[in-house]
Structure 1
């Protein structure tokens, strides 16, 4: 497939991520799609996630187009190429984050949906209300968003959506993954329906949405429910998933996957960071964290150039964070492995004081030039709902156990979950 528009050049963040294989297991697929959905937004965390995707070997291409009545459609096209030449393509749409997006969400009148070309899409959209009987009808704002993103800006006579459809038809064994959060999820559903109308096989279109509202009426569901795979991930307490109920003429379809936020998460359940955290926890629950070092990593960063030994990670946190401890250790180990694939890891973590002298002997035995010692501490902030201050301390020793450097950084949870805070602090080092 062709890479569209301009390439986003990003720095490297040590975040655990692996490009999934041609037949990924569901936890791996949902995690990568959740990360991509967050990465489609603006902001620091999204930029860090795009950087990690880039470090894992993905090419990231972004496009933004102004469409009908000022609607701004946006998407990222993410491409991963394996050594054997196989390609994996993912389209991620951002959710509501701008004033124009709010206007898009509020345009809840229904418009007709159908056609087999961008020109026909527009003609069908403008079908008079009295002639719409039995036709698929969809949320007008969501429709204009999808139309602007993929079927408005034509280059060399074809829109981005037409080029995607043509490439998929030419390579029937390839699949396209479409994903998004909230408004972005709604756009992903409509994009898959549009690509289906352009002749793409149902087996090639896989859609995963996070906290997305329903997009169409019963006729839309009946027409498109078998023309692509749809998984709807919904978080307990997220109100947006039911924002457009059936009394307004909108109906859900596809496989519903129910998640719930971690007890130590303070962020609003609709927030994409909560979905990313839940996806990562499920990934670790499925794949033993002791083996996640090889499972999660994409393209390792070997620029460190020397073997280092990571001693058992010390963790001292409030009892309320006890359930998070295995995840905090796991993401820190994975982040270090991505930073330096030559890292040798201690066989086990510890709940007691670390014996630096004994660990230095192990470091010498494995041929490490330096030893890294990390300590995570955390305490609950008073008068704040499930909000914690986490501190990440790092000490660097030579192979004889002499201290070379030490430092500490801290940050509070809130917008980020405990795992995401640890990754953020690690990235600042």
Structure 2
């Protein structure tokens, strides 16, 4: 998986601030940069949680020299979880990303259900003159206030953001409740005069304020709200309580057809971001665009055959993305790895490995099967064979898991990371 500008292909790459255009007006290059940014945001929003795929995302960030601070703040009224990531590329403009987790426990649910509004600026007017002033969801505001004032080492989050605003770029992101809180964090930055080099991208976030709030901040807050078709949560506040209005520019995504996963889950947003990213990357390359190649070590160690995938017909559309995301992961995790092309036999791969000065070949196979008797649960089996270039098998590993809290594409990446070559 690629994270930086100089890597072969960007998975969580250098962040590029782009204006929001209609999809049809984007050039292949701008469409690629936009999809890459959304991909980064989706991974960061996923990484704020505590799922296995979230842990993998954090591990990959650390591998790419991002400095992470994962924190939470709790009281009797709520429990806010968030992740701050600081880019480690010294040659690029510094980027700080703050991502906020969504609902995961009962205190979060209580915050979600605190539908009553409160003044955004409680000092703005006397209690009897507040009707037309900006008001926001009380529970979301409490979360935003808690994170804003959280102490991390020697500085509060607000102080960290203040310092970063003078040195680099800031990206706020989050899913569901986390997206709502990220939106309010962005407004806090605007109120503090820290709105330069700021952008907010949310996934499935509900409305946070009344029309007066939207009228006040709509033109000031650079916010893109990504919403899956069929996601009921993003509109629940407006449906349950009157006088809530969405803010920002909405981008509607369509999850893969036939998926049995709940469309609001962050893993579904991440799955769509993966597909969009690789589709945009392919289109950009076909248009003549150049994405930097991975520079092999001298001499290279691994010759890696493309992932061989066997799936049910219903999962056939996942196969190209499984191959691409695992190839990217290996190229970064195994520096100097040479990726083979499709259709090579083991003997042909061994010969090519010797010609390229490699020491080992790595063959990976994956099967993904739907089990109707288990509520259409998808069972993943991953098999890996490591050989020396003379054909001697060093190791064979096999790993099985149900794809419950991740989609099949995400599961392919997860098992590839789980089963590491043993030399």
User: Normalising to structure 1: TM-score of the pair?
Assistant: 0.83
Q: Superposition pairs for residues 27-106 of structure 1, below 5 Å? A: 27-66=35-74, 70-84=77-91, 86-106=93-113
* Structure 1 Cα separation of the partners of residues 138 and 173 of structure 2: 20
Unaligned stretches of 5+ residues in structure 2: 1-8, 19-32
Match of 2:332 among 330, 338, 354: 338
Q: Superposition pairs for residues 211-222 of structure 1, below 5 Å? A: 211-222=204-215
Aligned to 1:237: 230
Aligned to 1:130: 128
Q: Deviations over 1:251-279 (max 9, x none)?
A: 01211111122235332111101111110
Residue pair 1:17, 1:56 contacting (<8 A) in 2 also? no
Match of 1:320 among 314, 319, 323: 314
Aligned to 1:165: 162
Give the CA RMSD over aligned residues. Answer: 2.9
Match of 1:393 among 371, 383, 388: 383
Deviation of residue 222 (structure 1)?
0.3
Match of 2:189 among 195, 199, 221: 195
* Structure 2 Cα separation of the partners of residues 318 and 87 of structure 1: 44
Deviation of residue 296 (structure 1)?
9.8
Deviation of residue 23 (structure 1)?
4.1
Deviation of residue 16 (structure 1)?
7.5
* Structure 1 Cα separation of the partners of residues 174 and 332 of structure 2: 26
- Cα gap change, 1:16 to 1:385, in 2 (>3 Å): farther
- Cα gap change, 1:63 to 1:311, in 2 (>3 Å): closer
Aligned to 1:282: 276
Q: How many residues align?
A: 393
3-state DSSP of counterpart to 1:349: coil
Residue pair 2:300, 2:338 contacting (<8 A) in 1 also? no
| Alignment pair present for 1:207 and 2:195 | no
User: Normalising to structure 2: TM-score of the pair?
Assistant: 0.85
* Structure 2 Cα separation of the partners of residues 322 and 184 of structure 1: 33
* Structure 2 Cα separation of the partners of residues 296 and 63 of structure 1: 35
Q: Superposition pairs for residues 279-428 of structure 1, below 5 Å? A: 279-288=273-282, 307-346=301-340, 348-350=341-343, 355-384=345-374, 386-428=376-418
- Cα gap change, 1:301 to 1:149, in 2 (>3 Å): farther
Residue pair 1:17, 1:297 contacting (<8 A) in 2 also? no
- Cα gap change, 1:339 to 1:155, in 2 (>3 Å): closer
- Cα gap change, 1:108 to 1:87, in 2 (>3 Å): same
* Structure 2 Cα separation of the partners of residues 260 and 297 of structure 1: 31
Q: Superposition pairs for residues 101-180 of structure 1, below 5 Å? A: 101-114=108-121, 123=123, 129-151=127-149, 153=151, 159-165=156-162, 167-168=164-165, 170-171=166-167, 174-180=168-174
Deviation of residue 167 (structure 1)?
4.4
Q: Deviations over 1:9-36 (max 9, x none)?
A: xxxxxx9833324446111111111111
3-state DSSP of counterpart to 2:49: coil
Q: Deviations over 1:36-87 (max 9, x none)?
A: 11111123322221111111221111333346x6333332211103232620
Aligned to 2:22: none
- Cα gap change, 1:204 to 1:311, in 2 (>3 Å): closer
